[in-house]
Structures are given as C-alpha cells and as structure tokens.
Chain A
Amino acid sequence: MKALIPETEAELATMIAQAEGPLRIQGGGTRPIGAPVDGQILSTTGLTGIELYEPGALTLVARAGTPLAEVEAALDAEGQRLAFEPMDHRPLLNTSGEPTIGGVVAANVSGPRRIQVGACRDHLLGVRFVDGQGQIIKNGGRVMKNVTGYDLVKLMAGSYGTLGVLSEVSLKVLPKTHMTGVLLFEGLSDTEAVKALSVALGSPFEVTGGAHLQKGMDGAPVTMIRLEGFENSVAYRAGELQKLLAGFGDFMLETDPDRTRAGWRYVRDVAPFQTRSGDVWRLSVKPSDAPGIVAALSGAEAIYDWGGGLIWLLVPEGSELTAATIRAAIGGTGGHATLIRGNPAEVFQPLSPAVAALQRGLRQKFDPRRILNPGLMGADT
C-alpha cells in the first residue's frame, strides 16, 4: 500500500479519520523501537518547518516532521541547543534516513545530560496532534510555565504514536555552554565507578554527565564525569571534584573540545555496541542497584550512564539471558527494561494490573478504533 504523506495538519486529520485499517506512524524511520506494526505507513515527513524561534525566550516551535538536523542547525546559529541531548539511534539500529523532531518527542529520546536538565518531556512545552478519530487537539503552549488543564504534553512524549500523531511540538531550548571539561579515570570496577559517580552527582559542582564504560575506547574500563560552563568555573569545579574523588583515583581533566564531544557522543549513541551483534537493552534503575543487576546477568556487557541510573546492556547471541531474567534482576528494587534492538517479543516493561488498566483506558479514549501503531507498546495498547 502506498504511504500516506500529509502536507498539512488538516490533511493529516482527514487521512486518519478516513483510515480503514491500522496505520504505522513514521517520522524519519530511524528509531524502529517497539513491536513491529502491520499497517499502512503514515509519514510525518511532509509536515516540516520551524514556525517560531525566539532565542531570547528560549522557545522553538516546529512541525513534527522537521528534520532534527534542521532544528539543531537553527539553534546552533544562535548558540543554543536541545539541552536533553537526544541520541542518534541510526548506527546502533542500523537504520538510515533523517531523524525528525516529532520522532524524538514520540520516543522521549534523552541523552547523558538527562540527569541534570531532565528528559525530552521536561523540555516539551506544547503539542498539537491528531487523535485516532481524526480530531485535531492542542495542549500546553509555548511558554515555560503552564498548568492550564491536564498535562497531555508529557503524556504524548514517549507514547510512540499510540495516542495520536504529533503535528507540531513546542520546545524549551537552552544556551550552549562555553566549554566542556571531562574528568576521566581508568580501571574502576563497576561498583566503585557508580560510587564515584554518586559522589560527583551529590556534590554542588553541577555535573552534567556521569558515565562508566566497562570497555572504553582503548579497551580499559573508564569512568567519565562531565562539567560544562565558563572556563574558570569548569577549572574550579574540576579541581574540587578531583579532591573529592581522590579516594577512587587520580581523575585527569580533558578539555580538548573535539575529544570531549566525541567522548560523550560515544556514550550517548552507545557506540561500543554499534558494531557488536546481540540484543541491546536499556534499563532504568536506582543507580546504586545497577552494578548488582549487571553482575546478576552473567554474560551481558554494560555501559552505565546517568550516574548508573541508565544501563545499556548487550546480550550476546547465544546467551541464556531472556527478557524474563533481565526483568527479574531489576524486579525487587524497582525500575524497568526496554528492548531497543533484538527479537521484539516483549519490548516494553509489563505494567502492574492497575496501571495497565489505566493505560488501556487512555488508549481507548484517544484511539478507540485502535488504528494508531496497534500493539507497538504491547498488548495493552
């Protein structure tokens, strides 16, 4: 069947209203996360353009199909950025195409800076979308503070197109920082590394990234702590952190712009697993639980981000580890696991019966015919 590519919001609404079967909602198609959907492709790539950008008000409004690269270039020209640092899934998932801003929002894609500035959903100020009946709906707006009515803005972030098709998003943007410094130390065990990251994140020194790779670029375990800001301030905070962390080792300060940028791209885009075969899982847990969870999953390899709160897990081919064992390892302490790459049996964490019922109920209201990405987030959707 031919893909539907609406060029206006009104056209999008008509197409959904007239749809007779399931629709597979697609932005750039670079993040095929979730159970595969069998249906006619509905692409947002015809809905493009930045509609409003006010650098002095830190706000940008764009149509959902606008390429992320276009948004980032516009921000760059004003010395600003999307502070939540969305990852590029392409190399990890072996996809091509242009990521769209709507796709970033629909999957609530957030990178290493999430621990300090929040996730994509925390920067989302407003949405326009078309629900499963073809109705155009708006929520939120383009101002930083807004508690007028229910916050459907956050609900739409991370709902993977199962509640509606985004037509426009409004985002809070932030100024770029003047420089980046990264404190690095090699050789820590997972447990020691997460403890060191906790010390750094529990300090007043405004850490904007805290990661630990079991195998860094040169094969040795490396712990990374990012500081951003004005030059003197970064130098001062790095010095204070070096003192605080002396018990763990002598952290060295890297300030070369190319190297620091490359280092955090490496973490953000899960580079070590890009060329490896096997399933890739993304676990959100209580940071201090992370090393124990990873240790319980023998055979898996891990990258820790968010001070340990985010685990990227590579489960090599032929491993005995299943979705159930991974989720059981998180089980007692709280958290969740999402399959990002691999056999898509149970991609999303199963929910408690009460929460699953709410999720089903919402789905029923927003898309009673169940035509938008049916099943993508599991049986409840």
Chain B
Amino acid sequence: MDMPTPDPQIIARKAELVTRLQKVLPADALITDEHETRAYECDALTAYKCPPLLAVLPASTQEVSDVLRICHDMGVPVVPRGSGTSLAGGALPTADSVILGVARLNDVLETDYDNRFVRVQSGRTNLSVTGAVEEQGFFYAPDPSSQLACAIAGNIAMNSGGAHCLKYGVTTNNLMGVTMVLMDGTITQIGGAYLDAEGYDLLGLICGSEGQLGVVTEATLRILRKPEGARPVLIGFDDIVVAGACVADIIKAGVLPVAIEFMDRPCIRATEAFAGAGYPDCEALLIVEVEGSDAEIDEQLETIVTIARSHNPVELRESKSAEESAKIWLGRKSAFGAMGQINDYMCLDGTIPVSQLPYVLKRIGEMSQQYGLDVGNVFHAGDGNMHPLILFDANKPGDLELCEAFGADILRLCVEVGGCLTGEHGVGIEKRDLMNDQYDPGDLEIQMAVKDVFDPKWLLNPAKVFPLAASDTRRIAAE
C-alpha cells in the first residue's frame, strides 16, 4: 500500500507550527516528542505504520477550530483520530501530518429520556454512551464489536455497524445531529434533537466520510429503551445452500430477528478448539436472536424453529435461559480471537446480496486452494455483510502480500455479484485502490468534488478513500 511522499517543506516548518499551536493549546495537549508520537503511528491495521509530525489532543470545539485554522493557514495535512481501532487504516498518519485526537472530548452534554436522545462529545467511547443512559433502561443501538474502545467520532466517520443492526440500523440511522469543524476552522451545527435535519441531507453525507469533510466534535444520538429480553437459537446445517435458504425464509416470514449470524466449517472448528462452546461440526451454523418478553420470544423462536425444521438441520438448540444464550454466543464472540490463535489473520468486510451466499462461499473456497491460504467465514447473514478471515504468517516473507491479493480478489468477487467492497469498516487505505472496481471514474469524480466543497485545499485525511492516482491532481494542487 503506497502513501504519498511527505512534503519536506512542511516537515521543515515543524518548529513554527509548534510555536503557533502552543498559543492555542495547553502544553499537555501538544505531543511533539518523536517517542511519544509513536503512539499514533497506526490504527488497528497494524501492517502499516508511520509516526505523524506531531499530535494534538484538544479538549473543546474551540480548540479544534483553532488547531485547524492554523494547519489550514500553513497547509499542513490533518488526520482526525478517535480511538484508533479502524481496520482500514483510516487513522494512519503521514510523516508530514498532524494527528488530531478527540480522546479528551469525552463528556456527556445532555441526556433526555422524554425525547430519547443523548448529546455527547465525539471522543466518548461507544459503550460508554450506553453506559451513560442504561441506568434508566436505555441504550445506544449501534454496537460494533470494538465498542469498548472505539469512539463515536470514529463510528460516525466510518458509519459503523454492529451485530444488532439488522433491526436497529447502523450509525447513520441513529445519528440526529453533529457539531463539526471545517478545515478552515469554521464551526458548523447540523441537525439536532429533532428528526431529518433541514436542507440537503448533510448529516447523511458526513456519516461515513472517513474524516475527510470535517472534524466532528459533538453528536446528538438517538437512544432506545432496552427490550425486555433476548434469546437466540442455534441451527446447524450440512449444506451451505440450505442454510442460505433458511435465512431467506426466516426473513420472508415476517419475524425480524435482531441478529442472524453465520459461521462456516473452518470457523466453527477453530472456535470449537478455542472456546469449546459445544458447536456441532457441520458445514454452516446460524445463530438467530429475537427480542421481547419471554412469551414473545417463545412465539418468535417457535416460528423460526418450524422454518428451520423444514430444512432438515443437523442441530437445533433453542436457548431457554441466560446461560444457554451465553453459551450459544460464546463461540461467535470468540471467533476472531480463535482465528488469531491459529495464525495472523486479515479480516475482510465485503457485502453481497444474500442470495449470492452459496456461490460466493464456493468461490472463496476455490480461491483459498489457489492461494494456499486458509480462510474462515463469519457473516452477518441477515444483511449480507461478510467477514472472511484469511490466515497468513506475518513472519513469512511474501505471505502478507499474498494474503492482500487474495483479499482483493474476494472483494472484487463481492462487487461482481452485485455487492460492495466494504459494509462497515470503511475504505481507508486498505480498499482505496479497489474503488475503481466498484465505481467508474465519473462516480469517483463527483465524490471528490464533494470533498472540494468541504475542504478545498485537500488537507483533511487526504490520502484515503480515493485511489491515489485519482486524487493526485487535487492533492498536488493543494500543496
């Protein structure tokens, strides 16, 4: 993965930049020491690393605005950062850039149960947003597996999803308003404690824009009352095609599960060896969870079990208690960890139309043979978001490159069958050069024109999302 060559002129002006930033930030909010900037050299895509020129940790929207104004003035690129859990390299710096971390912006500004929203600063972690409202029985619905660590800022930038998004939607469906600072320091308010912000849907545009349009400092989020309860059923099949048909039938029947998770045999075996959840050794395993009162759950599970039976499952285990539920989820929740035990792995994130599942899994199996790399599939089956995990050995020369090539082929396959490159992790640097496989030049051109409007000098996270060759002229013109 290439990154643009850092601009030596910017690096040469570091001292001047530091002097100017010192005037608007407290001393401990400015990190210039070369050892300390190391902490910001990568995100969760750890194969790529580069310490930034310096890092700043502003504690207010005004400080963010001051920092951006100075960087804008001096032509210094800025990479916004939440908690650095991006799997796509979204928060990866370049040597001539400033990391703007929002970790200190972590207050809850307003909780309103009557109107069902919470207003928080964007550095607050996803789980602690729910933490702030759960005493009153409420929760914030989007729940990425990284929710303990990841920040709302990153969730908005990536439009992150979670296990329960089949029912509750992803970040964009739960975001009501933001305070966002543009690269030139202008502070904007978009939306608020009401539905459907005025004017063009800028909120929809900002969500998922990977830190390229502005720095989000505050967010108004929809909160919901927790359901009375939830319980899953585990269903095993000896045939992937049948498992896929079962998912389609469940969806068509009018039960709306909160989650339908899918694991294939390699994944089942790995998690069994790791977590011992007692999963059957079969081709495909579904975990389907429903919510409501005990009686409502029973009724929905009964419908699901009836459908599943008509497909001759090899295993059917309906949870009747919290312990049984935990046991059913245990394997799924440790799937990534289990694969990590076997080897290094790369986690992909393409989406496909659910009807293409059997074909795509067959093709992935064939490619796995060709590349000589093992792969396991975990999959949000209700919405077609796949997470193939490719195993490789980081210590073996050439293995990472081989794994990346295999990954790229899988993502191209997703596009070919009518899906897309990324369902929830974002493009970052990881899928940047594959954008040409999904979009024509004109489709990319208009997206870049959107960035021109928000950030005419292309200083905010400039080397991401778009193929470098496509964004070249804009980034160079900006220098």
List A residues at the B interface (Cβ < 8 Å): 54-59, 78-79, 108, 110, 114-115, 118-119, 121-122, 131, 135-139, 141-155, 157-159, 163, 174-178, 195, 198, 201-204, 230, 232-233, 236, 284-288, 306, 309-310, 334-336, 348-349, 351-352, 354-356, 358-359, 361-362, 364-366, 377
Contact = CB atoms under 8 A, between A and B. Distances in A.
B425 A155 contact: no
13 contacts: A119-B196, A143-B352, A145-B383, A147-B208, A147-B425, A148-B435, A155-B204, A159-B201, A201-B116, A287-B115, A349-B199, A351-B198, A365-B446
B454 A358 contact: yes
B200 A158 contact: yes
Given A55-B252, A137-B443, A137-B446, A149 B116 contact: no
B59 interface: no
Contact of A365 (B293, B426, B453): B453
Interface in B442-468: 442-444, 446-447, 449-454, 465
Given A119-B196, A157-B204, A288-B115, A141 B186 contact: no
B450 A365 contact: yes
Contacts of B337: none
A142 B188 contact: no
A118 B169 contact: yes
B348 interface: no
Contacts of A356: 199
A157 B199 CA distance: 11
Given A57-B354, A236-B293, A365 B170 contact: no
A355 B198 CA distance: 10
B419 interface: yes
B204 A236 contact: no
Contact of A149 (B165, B187, B203, B444): B444
Q: Which of A131, A144, A195 has the most C-beta atoms of chain B within 10 angstroms of its own C-beta?
A: A144
Contacts of A141: 418-420
Contacts of A110: 196
Given A59-B353, A108-B196, A148 B204 contact: no
A273 to B, nearest CB: 20
A358 B208 contact: no
B74 interface: no
Interface in B124-165: 137-138, 158-159, 161, 165
B424 A142 contact: no
B312 interface: no
A110 B138 CA distance: 25
A159 B200 contact: yes
Contacts of A351: 198-199
A149 B249 contact: no
Contacts of B251: 56-58, 175
Interface in B159-188: 159, 161, 165-166, 169-170, 172-173, 182, 186-188
Interface string B252-263: 111010000000
Given A118-B169, A175-B254, A288-B114, A233 B228 contact: no
B351 interface: yes
Contacts of B254: 79, 175-178
Given A176-B254, A284-B194, A354-B182, A136 B114 contact: no
A137 B446 CA distance: 8
A355 B159 contact: no
B226 A175 contact: no
Given A108-B196, A286-B112, A309-B115, 5 more contacts: A152-B446, A176-B254, A202-B225, A334-B193, A358-B202
B325 to A, nearest CB: 18
B351 A154 contact: no
B169 A358 contact: no
B391 interface: no
A198 B205 contact: no
Contacts of B198: 284, 336, 348-349, 351
B221 to A, nearest CB: 14
Contacts of B451: 150
Interface of B: 112-116, 137-138, 158-159, 161, 165-166, 169-170, 172-173, 182, 186-190, 192-205, 207-209, 225-228, 247-249, 251-254, 256, 292-293, 295-296, 299-300, 351-355, 380, 382-385, 418-427, 431, 435, 438-440, 442-444, 446-447, 449-454, 465
A349 B439 CA distance: 34
Q: Which of A119, A355, A358 has the most C-beta atoms of chain B within 10 angstroms of its own C-beta?
A: A358
Nearest to B421: A148
Contact of B423 (A147, A150, A155, A335): A147
Contact of B115 (A136, A144, A286): A286
Contact of B159 (A151, A163, A201): A151
Nearest to A364: B453
Q: Which of B170, B194, B208, B424 has the most C-beta atoms of chain A within 10 angstroms of its own C-beta?
A: B194
Given A56-B251, A143-B352, A149-B444, A138 B189 contact: no
A201 B224 CA distance: 9
Nearest to B431: A148
A198 B138 CA distance: 14
Contact of A150 (B187, B208, B228, B442): B208
B195 A236 contact: no
Contact of B418 (A142, A148, A349, A354): A142
Contacts of B199: 348-349, 351, 355-356, 359, 377
A336 B190 CA distance: 12
Contacts of A155: 200-202, 204-205
A154 B201 contact: yes
A139 B442 CA distance: 11
Nearest to A156: B201
A175 B422 contact: no
A200 B446 CA distance: 44
Nearest to A337: B198
A364 B383 CA distance: 36
A362 B200 contact: yes
Contact of B435 (A118, A137, A149): A149
B305 to A, nearest CB: 15
Nearest to A116: B224
B420 A203 contact: no
Nearest to B160: A147
